[in-house]
């Protein structure tokens, strides 16, 4: 049987870092390319946003499968299959020249990516002793947080010096390297016995997620009081209630919702979701402001965001060391405060706002994200027994992706609605082309400010939940209970 003494810690962590990084990089390289793609593929924002929300939707809907598949075939094999599928989906861009094909590819990427992230997280919590978890989680958490932040810079460079397809092609060599390293260095464990596939749970999960996302994404365009939106909201709520009811009674649930009986884990999920919303609100709104309003090229817009990315990259490895000494609560409180402050300052944009202003306050947001991300995830996950780590990882990543996905849908709809209202008000009485253009630009910026304000208010909700993560727990290895499995089986691959 494979033991932790046989695990090569740093090669294993670098392998999982690369796999997570390439998936999450793809979650944001598309963001700064959105205005470019809207022009070149002749589409509008309501359609183009599905390049983002479609990816995140399928990431969220495939995440619940992770625990079932990982415990049946091992998380190592699952990781290898997911990385191979993700790389293959990226290669399909060779034959894609329409927005519809590109959206379909993003759905496929999201499906495989949604399995990759929780699979790597489960490997960390299953294969390593708790005394090494803080270091491991510090390294692991850099990838899913830093990659979306660095994505715009990478995307801007590739678009300016190559073309938009390059933001997909970059996934292929990175994915192949992650695949080869995974075969060599990843350990394989199965901590649970084989169980039946929870088909009703999967169907209800997909239905509830898809229907609710559609309602929140299209509510502004179709009207929140329209029959189709009201019906889809009701249907989504019913599907979600049925999903919860079924999962709590199923013998082999696709998502073991009983993990929410651990209050610290539940608090970690809530805070993690809010942090993810904060991350993606900036990734979504700021490139639109810099490119659509201030007319920057993709690379120039990305360079404005680069200092914020550097701040995050430098801080995240340090956060793990500080966490060991002071625990989660101080880091979370400072982190959430900085995110909220930076977001509030981003509610005061104007057409003539300087790039230095954006650099400073986006950097402050990213410093806050660096301080809060790892403590929120680890403080919750570390309270779970090892045999629940796979389910905990799936639930954490599923909820984070769903809330991020829903938030982008809501933010997009809210931006369209608020900008339209402001433009209409400012255009009243304007007759000259210059006056109408100024009204449009100023109205759109005011809409962006409104959405940032909503994001700021959401971020503040994390503060009371952070206090539930205040206790530091002794780091020790908990044995696998007898009912979890007959044995901890090594993966021979």
What stretches of 128-226 show up as alpha helix (H) in DSSP?
133-161, 166-169, 171-185, 199-222
Residue 386 DSSP one-character state: G
Q: Could you report the per-residue pLDDT of 442-459, keeping only the tens digit for each? A: 999 999 999 999 999 999
Cβ neighbors of 284 (< 8 A, separation 6 or more) are 31, 52, 408, 411, 412
Residue 251 DSSP one-character state: S
The reported pLDDT for the residue numbered 488 is: 38
The reported pLDDT for the residue numbered 195 is: 62
CA distance 58 to 404: 12
Name the region of 409 (left: φ>0; alpha: ψ -120 to 50; beta: rest).
Answer: alpha
Closest C-alpha among 83, 59, 91 to residue 168: 91
Closest C-alpha among 366, 12, 358, 357 to residue 184: 12
The reported pLDDT for the residue numbered 360 is: 97
Least confident of 7-16, 54-63, 218-227, 473-482: 473-482
Least confident of 128-132, 232-236, 284-288, 445-449: 128-132
> What pLDDT band is residue 378 in, cutting at 50, 70 and 90?
confident
pTM: 0.79
How far is the CA of 334 from the CAs of 338, 363, 365, in angstroms?
Answer: 6, 14, 11
Q: Is the pLDDT of residue 181 over 80?
A: yes
Q: Could you report the per-residue pLDDT of 73-82, keeping only the tens digit for each? A: 888 999 999 9
Least confident of 16-30, 216-230, 264-278: 216-230
The reported pLDDT for the residue numbered 191 is: 55
The reported pLDDT for the residue numbered 129 is: 82
Q: Could you report the per-residue pLDDT of 142-163, keeping only the tens digit for each? A: 888 778 778 888 888 898 888 8
Q: Is the pLDDT of residue 46 over 60?
A: yes
Mean pLDDT for the stretch of residues 276-300: 88
**DSSP-assigned states of every residue in 282-326:** HHHHHHHIIIIIT---HHHHHHHHHHHHHHHHHHHHHHHHHHHHH
Q: Are 408 and 49 in contact (CB under 8 A)?
A: yes
């Amino acid at each position: 049987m494979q033991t932790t003494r046989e695990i090569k810690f740093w090669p294993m962590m670098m392998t999982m870092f690369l796999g997570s990084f390439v998936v999450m990089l793809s979650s944001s390289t598309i963001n700064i390319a959105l205005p470019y793609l809207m022009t070149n593929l002749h589409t509008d924002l309501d359609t183009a946003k599905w390049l983002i929300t479609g990816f995140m939707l399928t990431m969220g809907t495939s995440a619940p499968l992770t625990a079932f598949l990982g415990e049946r075939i091992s998380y190592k094999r699952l990781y290898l299959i997911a990385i191979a599928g993700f790389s293959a989906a990226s290669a399909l861009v060779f034959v894609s020249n329409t927005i519809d094909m590109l959206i379909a590819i993003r759905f496929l990427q999201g499906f495989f990516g949604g399995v990759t992230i929780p699979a790597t997280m489960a490997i960390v919590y299953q294969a390593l002793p708790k005394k090494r978890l803080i270091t491991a989680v510090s390294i692991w958490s850099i990838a899913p947080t830093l990659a979306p932040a660095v994505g715009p810079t990478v995307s801007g460079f590739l678009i300016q010096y190559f073309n938009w397809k390059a933001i997909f092609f970059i996934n292929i060599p990175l994915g192949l390297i992650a695949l080869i390293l995974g075969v060599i260095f990843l350990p394989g464990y199965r901590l649970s016995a084989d169980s039946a596939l929870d088909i009703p749970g999967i169907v209800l999960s997909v239905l509830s997620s898809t229907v609710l996302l559609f309602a929140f994404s299209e509510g502004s365009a179709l009207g929140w009081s329209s029959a189709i939106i009201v019906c889809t909201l009701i249907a989504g709520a019913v599907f979600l209630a049925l999903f919860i009811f079924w999962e709590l009674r199923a013998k082999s649930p696709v998502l073991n919702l009983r993990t929410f009986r651990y209050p610290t884990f539940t608090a970690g999920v809530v805070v993690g979701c809010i942090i993810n919303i904060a991350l993606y609100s900036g990734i979504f709104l700021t490139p639109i402001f810099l490119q659509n309003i201030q007319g920057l090229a993709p690379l120039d817009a990305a360079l404005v965001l680069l200092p914020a990315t550097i701040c995050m990259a430098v801080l995240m490895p340090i956060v793990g060391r500080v966490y060991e000494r002071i625990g989660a609560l101080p880091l979370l409180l400072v982190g959430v405060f900085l995110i909220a402050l930076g977001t509030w300052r981003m509610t005061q944009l104007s057409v003539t706002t300087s790039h230095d202003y954006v650099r400073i306050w986006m950097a402050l947001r990213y410093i806050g994200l660096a301080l809060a991300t790892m403590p929120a995830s680890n403080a919750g996950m570390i309270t779970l027994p090892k045999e629940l780590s796979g389910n905990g990882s799936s639930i954490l990543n599923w909820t984070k992706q769903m809330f991020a996905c829903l938030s982008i849908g809501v933010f997009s709809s809210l931006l369209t609605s608020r900008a339209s209202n402001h433009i209409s008000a400012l255009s009243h009485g304007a007759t000259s082309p210059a006056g109408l253009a100024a009204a449009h630009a100023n109205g759109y910026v005011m809409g962006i400010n409104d959405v940032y304000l909503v994001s700021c208010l959401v971020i503040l909700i994390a503060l009371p939940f952070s206090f539930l993560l205040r206790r530091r727990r002794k780091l020790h290895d908990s044995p696998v209970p007898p009912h979890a499995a007959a044995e901890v089986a090594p993966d021979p691959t």
